[in-house]
Amino acid sequence: MSLRTGRTARAGQYAALLCYLVFLAFPFLWLISTAFKPARELGSLHPTWIPEDPTLENFRQAFDEQPLLRAAANSLTAAVCAALIAVVIATPMAYVMARHRGRLSTAATGWVVVSQAFPFVLVIIPLFLVLKYLHLINSLWGLILVYVVWSLPFALWMLAGYVRAVPPELEEAAAVDGAGKARILVSVTAPLLAPGIVATALFAFITAWNEFFFALVLLKTPEKQTLPVVLTHFLGAEGVADLGPLAAAAFLATLPSLVLFAIIQKRITGGLTAGAVKH
C-alpha cells in the first residue's frame, strides 16, 4: 500500500485517518472534560468541550462518596498477586508447550483455545460452589485464584512465543558443555526470557485490574470489592448518577492500565508482527 499514490488518494487517506482519530478520541476526551467540570457546568443544558472553570472538586467528592482508596488497594493486591503467581506457574508450562511435542502440550494448547469460548456463566456457577466449599467467597484470595487461572491462557500463549524465540542451539551448547537440565533452564533460558516474562506479568496485571464479572459475583461486602465493582456504585439506583465524581473516579481507575499498556504496547504489537514475519 505504500506505493506511489495519487494526490487525491492521499488526501482521502488523511481525511479517513482524521475521522478515525476523532471517533477513537472523543469519548475519552469527554470523560476527561467531565471529570474537571464544576457541578454548575455539568447542570448546564449546553455542555462545552473545555471546562470554563476547571476544578478538582469532583475528585475530592469521589473519594468522599465511595471507598476508592480501599477499592484501589484491593484491586492492586488482586492484580499483583494474580500476575506474579500466573507467570511463576505459567513459565515452566509454556516452556513445555514450546519445546516438547506430545499429548501433554497438545492438550495444553487445546485448553488454551477452548477456554476462549467458555461463556463465563457456565464456569462461574460451579466455580462459585467450589470456592464456597473452600470458604473463599468474599475473599480476595478466592478472586486471585480465579484471576490466575483466567489469565493463564494468554500468559501461556505469550510465554510460549517468547520461548520459541530462544534458539534451542543455545541450550544444546550448554548441554554439550556439561550443564544439567535445571542449570540450563535457570542460567541460559530464564535470563533470555526475562523481558517476555515481565511483559506477560504486566499484561496479566492489566487484565486482573480491569476485570469485572468475577469480582461482581464473588465479592459481597464493600470492604472487599475491587475498583470496577465500586465504580458501578456511583451509578446508583435507576441510573441516576452524580456525573462529576463518576467521571473523576472512572478516569483515575483507568490511569494505571493505560500507563502500563503504553509501556508494553510495543511488545504486544511488536511481538505480534515479529511472529507473523518469517523467522
Q: Does 170 bind other proteins (CB under 8 A)?
A: no
Within residues 35-54, the interface with other proteins by CB under 8 A covers 42-47, 49
Q: Does 228 bind other proteins (CB under 8 A)?
A: yes
Sole binder of other proteins in the list 11, 16, 186, 194 (CB under 8 A) = 16
Within residues 187-216, the interface with other proteins by CB under 8 A covers 203, 206-207, 209-213
Q: Does 20 bind other proteins (CB under 8 A)?
A: yes
Sole window of 8-16, 50-58, 60-68, 186-194 interacting with other proteins (rule: CB under 8 A): 8-16
Measure the CA–CA gap between 122 and 71, rounded to whole angstroms: 27
Q: Does 178 bind other proteins (CB under 8 A)?
A: no
Q: Which residue has the cell 487525491?
A: 8
Q: Does 164 bind other proteins (CB under 8 A)?
A: yes
Sole binder of other proteins in the list 54, 60, 64, 92 (CB under 8 A) = 92
Could you tell me the smallest distance in angstroms from the CB atom of residue 2 to other proteins? Answer: 5
Sole window of 55-63, 66-74, 148-156, 188-196 interacting with other proteins (rule: CB under 8 A): 148-156
Sole binder of other proteins in the list 62, 193, 231, 245 (CB under 8 A) = 231
Measure the CA–CA gap between 177 and 200, rounded to whole angstroms: 31
Could you tell me the smallest distance in angstroms from the CB atom of residue 151 to other proteins? Answer: 10
Could you tell me the smallest distance in angstroms from the CB atom of residue 131 to other proteins? Answer: 9
Sole binder of other proteins in the list 83, 156, 202, 219 (CB under 8 A) = 156
